[in-house]
């Protein structure tokens, strides 16, 4: 059975349908797709000291000849530059590394929380859920800022540790990758907890009882039943943390200091400080490829698995 709008027969129905599709389609085409075409185009251009600071620009008055001239002027110089300069390689790699490690840390912190929430009495669960979500609605910037006061040289953490007598000289945390890890775990924890909680919450309690009944210890029941069945939630949570963490700008620039290299910050600096738009565009295109390709592959894999399950 077709799931198209059944009331959509007749002229009025077709018009309604066309309008419904066209309005969001055109909006996204203009403000999402077109910008990427422009980014791609500028990434192939050369940087100049002008406004706009790149060449060639498209000259509509010259018509087709103008387009042809523009294409002839394109080259991959910026990409060559990217691949030759160590800075960019290191920035990409370090972004991926920081994102991967902090995703793992978030998982280690988030799973026990999600598990405990799913074990909590029924009437507590909505409240616990709300308490986990609440920070997400508070400004991201403020939540990262809160850690600046804690982790600084004279920060609350150092004051506390010295007061306890555990250390004599303050620890240097702010301005190091450690602070970035803490920031990412803190900022993205709800994104890890929620999907894992929802997959654990759905889990039929009698499955675990069945496992215990069939001779599993509690630990075995967890490892053989609960963990594999919560895997969809784990994967979703990891993606929700990893993907934005790779392109993160606010956390490394506030907590990471100059020593932490992340590609989002490089792109920002390239654009605002160096005003090298073509190079910034090339950085963006490569970052996009790095992020989008694995997602596409993952999606195709998931679709194929689903189709196999349906068969």
Separation of alpha carbons 185 and 192, rounded Å: 9
The answer to whether 292 contacts another protein (rule: CB under 8 A) is yes
Separation of alpha carbons 286 and 296, rounded Å: 15
The answer to whether 45 contacts another protein (rule: CB under 8 A) is no
* Minimum distance, C-beta of residue 58 to another protein, in the bound complex (Å): 8
Contact with another protein (CB under 8 A): which of 149, 274, 301, 303?
149
Name the burial class of residue 97, with classes exposed (0-12), middle (13-18) and buried (19+) by CB atoms within 10 angstroms of its CB.
Answer: middle
The answer to whether 52 contacts another protein (rule: CB under 8 A) is yes
Q: What is the DSSP letter of 274?
A: S
Answer for the pair 157, 146: CB distance below 8 angstroms, yes or no: no
Dihedral sign for Cα 66, 67, 68, 70, please: positive
Q: At what angle do helices 86-119 and 231-246 cross, to 10 degrees?
A: 140
* Minimum distance, C-beta of residue 142 to another protein, in the bound complex (Å): 4
* Minimum distance, C-beta of residue 143 to another protein, in the bound complex (Å): 7
Contact with another protein (CB under 8 A): which of 7, 67, 69, 210?
7
The answer to whether 170 contacts another protein (rule: CB under 8 A) is no
The answer to whether 261 contacts another protein (rule: CB under 8 A) is no
Separation of alpha carbons 52 and 103, rounded Å: 39
The answer to whether 291 contacts another protein (rule: CB under 8 A) is yes
* Minimum distance, C-beta of residue 121 to another protein, in the bound complex (Å): 5
Answer for the pair 40, 46: CB distance below 8 angstroms, yes or no: no
Separation of alpha carbons 119 and 122, rounded Å: 8
Subset of residues 183 to 212 that bind another protein, contact rule: CB under 8 A? 186, 189
The answer to whether 36 contacts another protein (rule: CB under 8 A) is yes
Q: What is the DSSP letter of 100?
A: H
The answer to whether 13 contacts another protein (rule: CB under 8 A) is yes
Separation of alpha carbons 179 and 166, rounded Å: 20
The answer to whether 307 contacts another protein (rule: CB under 8 A) is no
Stretch that binds another protein, among 85-93, 230-238, 261-269, 300-308 (CB under 8 A): 261-269
SS3 54: strand
The answer to whether 20 contacts another protein (rule: CB under 8 A) is yes
Stretch that binds another protein, among 10-18, 61-69, 82-90, 222-230 (CB under 8 A): 10-18
The answer to whether 70 contacts another protein (rule: CB under 8 A) is no
Q: What is the DSSP letter of 296?
A: H
Taking alpha carbons only, the member of 80, 63, 67 closest to residue 37 is: 67
Subset of residues 223 to 252 that bind another protein, contact rule: CB under 8 A? 243-244, 246-250
The count of residues interacting with another protein (CB under 8 A) is 91
* Contact track, another protein, 102-141, x by CB under 8 A: -------x--xx-xxx-xxxx---x-x-xxxxxx-xxxxx
């Amino acid at each position: 059975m077709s799931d198209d709008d059944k009331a959509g027969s007749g002229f009025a129905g077709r018009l309604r349908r066309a309008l419904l599709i066209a309005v969001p389609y055109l909006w996204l085409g203009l403000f999402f797709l077109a910008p990427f075409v422009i980014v791609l185009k500028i990434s192939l251009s050369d940087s100049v000291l002008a406004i706009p600071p790149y060449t060639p620009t498209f000259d509509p008055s010259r018509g087709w000849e103008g387009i042809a001239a523009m294409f002839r002027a394109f080259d991959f110089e910026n990409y060559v530059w990217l691949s030759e300069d160590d800075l960019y390689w290191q920035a990409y790699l370090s972004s991926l590394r920081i994102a991967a490690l902090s995703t793992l840390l978030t998982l280690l912190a988030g799973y026990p929380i999600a598990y405990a929430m799913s074990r909590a009495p029924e009437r507590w669960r909505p409240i616990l859920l709300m308490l986990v979500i609440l920070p997400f609605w508070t400004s991201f910037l403020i939540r990262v800022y809160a850690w600046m006061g804690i982790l600084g040289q004279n920060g609350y953490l150092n004051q506390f540790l010295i007061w306890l007598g555990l250390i004599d000289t303050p620890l240097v945390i702010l301005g190091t990758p450690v602070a970035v890890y803490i920031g990412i775990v803190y900022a993205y924890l709800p994104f890890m907890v929620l999907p894992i909680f929802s997959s654990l919450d759905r889990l039929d309690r009698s499955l675990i009882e069945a496992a215990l009944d069939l001779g599993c210890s509690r630990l075995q029941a967890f490892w053989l039943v609960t963990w594999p069945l919560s895997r969809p939630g784990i994967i979703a949570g990891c993606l929700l943390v990893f993907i934005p963490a790779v392109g993160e700008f606010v956390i490394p620039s506030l907590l990471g200091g100059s020593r932490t290299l992340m590609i989002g910050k490089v792109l920002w600096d390239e654009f605002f400080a160096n005003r090298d738009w073509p190079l910034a565009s090339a950085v963006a295109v490569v970052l996009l490829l790095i992020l989008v390709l694995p997602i596409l592959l993952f999606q195709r894999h998931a679709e194929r698995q689903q189709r196999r399950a349906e068969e």
